[in-house]
């Protein structure tokens, strides 16, 4: 259960939940509750606790109730001195408290609503250690004065001053360090935040551990090893940037500690210090990096929603910002749950309040007649009350804390799944979503295992276990089917629509209005600046209203969220006539009889799994200038390369030497590719032309004079040639092959001219030939539809020239690298930059499988990147200058690279 800190409920009866909301527990003393009856004095030993708004006495005997005395109800608090009459036994000093109300809690050690006794009562307490009694009375009198002030703001200020004075007079006990060799980095006062309560104390961070020591000694010092920390998040707490949450696990909902600082600067210093112990933490944990992992199936729907909630400031320690999960099932009446039927599921493109059109019409009518600021829904989809509605059976003390010692009315309790869903569809003010527990493994929140007396409904039935749908045999079966539904094909295909509403671009503004997704303005981050309200009482009241009403998550996405890649949509078909970077065959492999069509998803995965074992086989210096392109014949016997030395050279695998050298002009050649017939090599040149070279005849066959500036790169698909140029265009040509027997030249028909705002440096097709991506010198990536020649996406995502851009094998993403040393992943569907990696140097070329990237850098090294974690897995020394060209065949585990050092290198993946 994510809500509870520990698997087992603590045996200690006292907890901070017995305090009022936003009350502090300051100190405790061993004491006796003294009562008299029939001239006989009775003493009950226990713990006397001084709190900011109350006195609590926790007796050692479990049969006696915990006594709580609100300070605001006290009429007199006195210090009664010890009796010095020599004829009587000496009596110690005592504290007498006269109050108009006493609250009794956990009578007979049963968790139940509190019993309030009103009327004048006088209670007497005797402290062990008589010397402290007078000091304790003075403290109580001071806190009593604060509780009796007319203005809530004045009360809060006086109590805060008392707290800060206590924190200033104390410090972390260095004897609690695990090792004498630890070096102190920083210490400061903080509060440890838990659901509904917070505990003041001191945080201390060393070069090995994070410690928290509570001011009141409850609980004992908490220690977290820094090398075990896996995730940290900055948090808004009370609408201010003061929170810090630390996790020592990857996918756990509940953190190891949540701290609230008194200064954002203190919070940030400790955040960045802890971050130095996490490899690539700051880059790794972004919404975009998690999105990429989710899209490619490396995160489940549950895990992805968990991470989005964390990034959006949702925490299990903050009930006003508890993680929010969607209702996904709409059928709670059938005897069987059919997850293949779309009608089984809720429409995830609409907020809960818009699922019932009749109710929505009434809400919209009210909305249209409302003065600004207008809102459609008067209540939120997540609030502390809703969280406790679901979790009362496992966290009854939290419910009692939230509701002043009472449970809700039995008919308003969480009684039935189907009733709750029905009310969310039809209720005038009920728009609540679910919490993560509905998709977890612990079903205890659905069962009354503590045998709580939660009341009797109007129909006479006792509130016990939650009534489940007919399709669930028991609570465990219910959760199992809930999880199956969340991870189902339908939800995977539509979850992005719900994310748009809750975390994304439909959360605010005109898009929210269009989606009928407008809540009260106070629920939105930045909806009001509480610090600007001068009246203290008004400011506290406003803050309390915001925290209790519910808060909209921090907005994570401002453009449409891309859809998940599901098996139904995956396209792993590959063509032999794709750009040369995909290649046909390996020149140093044993699979000469295979063709590129043999490449399967399994062979691709196997090749990339072995990428970390890349080993250089040989290197050959065959050019006088930098290598610019690599192409390979179908039989793998010959490798062609172009260079800035203006030559096309053919290297023989068998002879291990170059056999041919062809020069078409005196200007540099920029790229080359092999046509599907395996007999023709195309070369692009800085002289504005494209040259066709016949391998059987060993001579230039055709020349295409197509541009007004250098041709930078080409790609080919189904007799269509796509040429990119520094003249700011990409041109598409229909090519009819030359007739070798009659020596007729090829024909070139210009089909389209795609205009750009800057010189085009790179161009690439997706495997199916339906999409084209171009990268320009001004840092703009453009995605085109090759059937209509229309722009689908245009994103300025690099600061400077783009060196290479290419689609992932499934055509869902585009990766680009540029002069700004960044690698950017774009979602084809939305144009969103979903991952950005800053490398130590600019990358010039790459191959990738959608998750991993083998790239060549300016320094000459090959880098293997895992884009899902934004980490460099391996750095491989290669060329002595920049790596400028790369060719890869996954089927035969072969890579060829070319560099500014004029060499081509052959590499092998070791299985």
**Amino acid 871: pLDDT:** 82
Range of weakest confidence among 32-41, 350-359, 470-479, 897-906: 32-41
The predicted model gives 278-292 an average pLDDT of 69
Contact call for residues 664 and 691 (beta carbons, < 8 A): yes
Mean pLDDT of the chain: 88
| Run of H or E residues at 708 | none
Helices and strands (DSSP H and E) totals, the chain: 15, 42
Mention every residue, 6+ apart, whose C-beta is less than 8 A from residue 54.
19, 20, 23, 68, 69, 70, 71
- The per-residue pLDDT for 585 is 31
> Which pLDDT belongs to residue 569?
36
Looking at the domain 319-549, which fold is it?
Neurobeachin; Chain: A, domain 1 (1.10.1540)
User: 């909902």: which residue's tokens?
Assistant: 253
Say what the pLDDT of residue 785 is: 95
- Average pLDDT score over residue span 563-575: 50
pLDDT score for 85 = 57
CB 813 within 8 A of CB 807: yes
Q: Lowest-confidence range among 100-114, 232-246, 806-820?
A: 232-246
DSSP 8-state secondary structure symbol assigned to residue 819: T
CA distance 275 to 262: 20
- Round to the nearest angstrom and report the end-to-end CA distance of the chain: 43
Query: Three-state secondary structure along 728-768?
Result: CEEEEEEEECCECCCCECCEEEEEEEEECCCCEEEEEECCC
pLDDT of residue 866: 86
**Alpha carbon 415 to chain centroid, angstroms:** 32
Region 346-357: mean pLDDT is 97
Query: Given pLDDT bands bounded at 50, 70 and 90, which one contains residue 592?
Result: very low
Residue 83 scores a pLDDT above 70:
no
Contact in structure between 889 and 586 (CB atoms under 8 Å): yes
CATH number of 596-909: 2.130.10.10
CA distance 346 to 749: 52
Sheet of 720-725, strand order: 711-717, 720-725, 729-736, 747-755
CATH 2.130.10.10 residue spans of the chain: 596-909
Q: Is the pLDDT of residue 902 over 80?
A: yes
For range 1-19, the mean pLDDT: 66
Q: What is the mean pLDDT of residues 862-887?
A: 90
Q: Are 748 and 735 a contacting pair, CB within 8 Å? A: yes
Rounded to whole angstroms, the Cα distance separating 105 from 482 reads: 37
Confidence of residue 531 (pLDDT cuts 50, 70, 90): low
Cα–Cα dist 709/528, whole Å: 56
Q: What is the third-level CATH fold of 170-285?
A: PH-domain like (2.30.29)
> How big is the CA angle at 353 (ends 566 and 325), to the nearest 5 degrees?
45
Four-CA torsion 327, 332, 338, 343, nearest 10 degrees = -70
878 pLDDT higher than 70: yes
Q: Write down the pLDDT at residue 598.
A: 43
Which of 634 and 752 is assigned the larger pLDDT? 752
Q: What percent of the chain has pLDDT over 70?
A: 90
Q: Look at the alpha carbons of 863, 865, 871, 874 in this order and tell me if their dihedral is positive or negative.
A: negative
Q: Which of 405, 412, 423 is nearest to 389 (CA)?
A: 412
Task: Tell me the per-residue pLDDT of 191-228, one tens digit each, with 9 for 90 and over.
Answer: 999 999 999 999 999 999 999 999 988 778 999 999 89
**DSSP letter string over 168-207?**
HH----GGG-S-TTPPEEEEEEEEEEETTEEEEEEEEEES
Q: Which residues of 745-756 are buried (b: 16+ CB within 10 A; e: fewer)?
A: ebebeeebebeb
Tallying the residues shown for the chain, one arrives at 911
Q: Does residue 833 have a pLDDT over 80? A: yes
Model pLDDT, residue 87: 59
584 vs 273, residue with greater confidence: 273
Instruction: List where CATH 2.30.29.30 sits in the chain.
Output: 16-167, 170-285
Nearest of 427, 334, 316 to residue 378 by alpha carbon: 427
Q: Of 589, 688, 595, nearest to 895 (Cα)?
A: 589
* pLDDT(281) > 70: no
Task: Give the CA-trace dihedral at 637, 640, 641, 642, to 10 degrees.
Answer: 170
DSSP bridge partners of 816: 805, 824
Q: pLDDT grade, residue 53 (50/70/90)?
A: very high
Residue 88 has what pLDDT? 61
pLDDT tens, position by position, 661-694: 999 989 999 999 999 888 899 999 999 999 999 9
For residue 424, give both structure tokens: 């969310």
Choose which CATH entry (2.130.10.10, 3.30.465.10, 1.10.1040.10, 2.30.29.30) describes domain 16-167.
2.30.29.30
C-beta pairs of 286-291 under 8 Å, 24+ apart in sequence? 286/311, 286/835, 287/311, 287/503, 287/556, 287/557, 288/825, 288/832, 288/833, 288/834, 288/835, 288/836, 289/834, 289/835, 289/867, 289/868, 289/869, 289/870, 291/561, 291/562, 291/834, 291/835
Identify the burial level of 596 via C-beta atoms within 10 angstroms of its C-beta, where 0-12 means exposed, 13-18 middle and 19 or more buried. buried
Q: How many CB atoms lie within 10 A of CB 627?
A: 31
Rg of the chain over all Cα atoms, to the nearest angstrom: 35
Return the closest-CA partner of residue 123 out of 57, 61, 51, 28: 57
> Quick check: 890 and 599 in contact, CB under 8 A?
yes
CA–centroid distance for 806 within its chain: 27
Q: Which helix (H) or strand (E) holds 276?
A: none
Residue 740 CB neighbours (<10 A): 12
9: region left, alpha or beta (phi > 0 left; psi from -120 to 50 alpha): beta
Q: Please, which pLDDT band fits residue 572 given cuts at 50, 70 and 90?
A: very low
Tell me the mean pLDDT in the region 258-277: 93
What digits encode the pLDDT tens for the residues 697-728? 888 989 999 899 999 999 999 889 999 999 99
Domain with CATH 1.10.1540.10 in the chain: 319-549
User: Can you tell me the mean pLDDT for 95-122?
Assistant: 95
Q: Decide: helix, strand or coil at residue 490.
A: helix
Query: Treating both helix axes as pointing N-terminal to C-terminal, what angle do 475-486 and 301-311 enclose, rounded to 10 degrees?
Result: 80
Q: Between β-strands 903-909 and 894-899, what pairing exists: parallel, antiparallel or unpaired? A: antiparallel
The pLDDT, as a whole number, for residue 6 is 42
**pLDDT for 11:** 60
Using CA atoms, how far apart are residues 713 and 885, in angstroms rounded to an integer? 12
Question: Is residue 851 classed as helix, strand or coil in its secondary structure?
Answer: coil
Strand ordering across the sheet containing 638-643: 627-632, 638-643, 647-652, 657-663
Tell me how crowded residue 178 is: count the other CB atoms within 10 A of its CB.
12
Q: pLDDT-derived band of residue 567, with 50, 70 and 90 as boundaries?
A: low
The residue whose two tokens read 């219910």 is 478
Q: What are phi and psi of 764, to 5 degrees?
A: -155, 150
Distance of CA 417 to the CA centre of its chain: 29
């Amino acid at each position: 259960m994510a809500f509870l800190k520990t698997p087992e409920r603590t045996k200690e009866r006292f907890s901070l939940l017995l305090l009022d909301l936003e009350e502090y527990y300051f100190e405790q003393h061993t004491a006796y509750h003294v009562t008299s009856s029939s001239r006989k004095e009775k003493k009950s030993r226990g713990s006397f606790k001084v709190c900011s708004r109350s006195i609590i006495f926790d007796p050692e005997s479990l049969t006696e109730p915990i006594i709580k005395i609100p300070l605001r109800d006290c009429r007199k608090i006195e210090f009664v001195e010890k009796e010095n009459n020599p004829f009587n036994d000496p009596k110690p000093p005592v504290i007498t408290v006269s109050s108009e109300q006493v609250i009794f809690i956990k009578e007979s050690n049963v968790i139940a609503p509190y019993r309030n006794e009103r009327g004048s009562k006088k209670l007497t307490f005797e402290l062990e250690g008589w010397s402290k009694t007078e000091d304790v009375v003075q403290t109580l009198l001071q806190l009593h004065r604060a509780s009796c002030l007319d203005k809530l703001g004045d009360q809060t200020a006086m109590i805060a001053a008392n707290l800060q004075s206590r924190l200033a007079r104390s410090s972390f006990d260095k004897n609690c360090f695990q090792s004498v060799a630890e070096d102190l980095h920083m210490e400061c006062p903080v509060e440890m935040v838990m659901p509904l309560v917070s505990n003041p104390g001191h945080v201390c961070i060393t070069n090995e551990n994070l410690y928290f020591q509570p001011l009141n000694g409850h609980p004992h010092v908490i220690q977290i090893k820094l090398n075990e920390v896996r995730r940290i998040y900055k948090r808004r707490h009370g609408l201010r940037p003061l929170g810090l949450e630390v996790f020592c696990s990857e996918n756990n909902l509940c953190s190891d500690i949540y701290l609230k600082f008194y200064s954002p600067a203190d919070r940030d210093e400790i955040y960045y210090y802890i971050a130095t112990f996490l490899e690539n933490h700051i880059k790794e944990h972004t919404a975009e990096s998690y999105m990429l992992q989710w899209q490619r199936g490396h995160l489940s729907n549950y895990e992805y929603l968990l991470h989005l909630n964390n990034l959006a400031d949702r925490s299990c320690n903050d009930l006003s910002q508890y993680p929010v999960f969607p209702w996904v099932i709409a059928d709670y009446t059938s005897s069987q749950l059919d997850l293949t039927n779309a009608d089984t599921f809720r429409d995830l493109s609409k907020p809960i309040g818009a699922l019932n059109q009749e109710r929505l019409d009434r809400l919209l009518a009210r909305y249209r007649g409302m003065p600004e600021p207008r809102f459609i829904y008067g209540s939120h989809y997540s609030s502390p009350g809703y969280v406790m509605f679901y979790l009362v059976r496992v966290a009854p003390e939290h419910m009692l804390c939230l509701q002043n010692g009472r449970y809700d009315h039995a008919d308003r309790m969480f009684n039935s799944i189907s009733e709750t869903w029905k009310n969310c569809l039809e209720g005038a003010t009920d728009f609540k979503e679910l919490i993560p527990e509905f998709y977890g493994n612990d079903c205890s929140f659905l069962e009354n295992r503590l045998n709580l007396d939660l009341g009797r409904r109007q129909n006479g039935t006792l509130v016990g276990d939650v009534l489940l749908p007919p399709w669930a045999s028991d609570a465990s079966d219910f959760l199992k089917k809930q999880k199956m539904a969340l991870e189902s094909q339908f939800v995977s295909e539509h979850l992005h629509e719900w994310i748009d509403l809750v975390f994304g671009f439909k959360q605010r503004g005109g898009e929210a209005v269009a989606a009928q997704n407008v809540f009260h303005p106070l629920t939105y981050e930045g909806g009001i600046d509480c610090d600007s309200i001068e009246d203290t009482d008004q400011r506290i009241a406003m803050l309390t209203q915001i925290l209790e009403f519910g808060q909209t998550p921090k907005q994570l996405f401002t453009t449409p969220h891309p859809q998940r890649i599901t098996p139904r949509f995956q396209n792993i078909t590959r063509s032999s006539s794709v750009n040369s970077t995909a290649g046909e065959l390996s020149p140093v492999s044993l699979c000469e009889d295979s063709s590129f069509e043999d490449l399967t998803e399994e062979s691709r995965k196997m090749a990339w799994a072995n990428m970390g074992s890349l080993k250089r086989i040989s290197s050959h210096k065959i050019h006088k200038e930098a290598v610019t392109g690599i192409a390979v014949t179908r039989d793998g016997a010959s490798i062609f390369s172009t260079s800035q030395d203006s030559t096309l050279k053919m290297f023989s695998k068998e002879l291990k030497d170059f056999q041919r050298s062809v020069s078409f002009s005196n200007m540099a050649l920029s790229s080359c590719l092999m046509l599907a017939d395996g007999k023709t090599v195309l070369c692009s040149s800085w002289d504005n032309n494209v040259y066709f070279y016949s391998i059987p005849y060993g001579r230039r066959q055709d020349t295409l004079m197509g541009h007004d500036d250098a041709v930078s790169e080409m790609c080919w698909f189904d007799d269509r040639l796509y040429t990119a140029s520094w003249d700011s265009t990409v041109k598409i040509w229909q090519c009819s092959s030359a007739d070798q027997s009659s020596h007729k030249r090829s024909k070139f028909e210009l089909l389209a001219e795609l205009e750009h705002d800057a010189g085009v440096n790179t161009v690439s097709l997706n495997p199916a030939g339906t999409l084209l991506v171009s990268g320009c010198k001004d840092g703009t990536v453009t995605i085109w539809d090759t059937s209509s020649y229309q722009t689908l996406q245009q994103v300025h995502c690099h600061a400077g020239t783009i060196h290479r851009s290419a689609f992932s094998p499934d055509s869902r993403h585009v990766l680009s690298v540029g002069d700004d040393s960044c690698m950017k992943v774009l979602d084809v569907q939305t144009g969103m930059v979903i991952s950005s990696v800053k490398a130590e140097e600019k990358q010039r070329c790459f191959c990738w499988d959608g998750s991993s990237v083998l790239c060549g850098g300016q320094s000459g090294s090959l880098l293997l990147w895992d884009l899902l974690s934004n980490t460099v897995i391996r750095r491989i020394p290669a060329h002595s200058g920049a790596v400028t060209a790369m060719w890869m065949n996954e089927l035969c585990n072969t890579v060829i690279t070319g560099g500014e050092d004029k060499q081509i290198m052959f590499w092998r993946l070791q299985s």
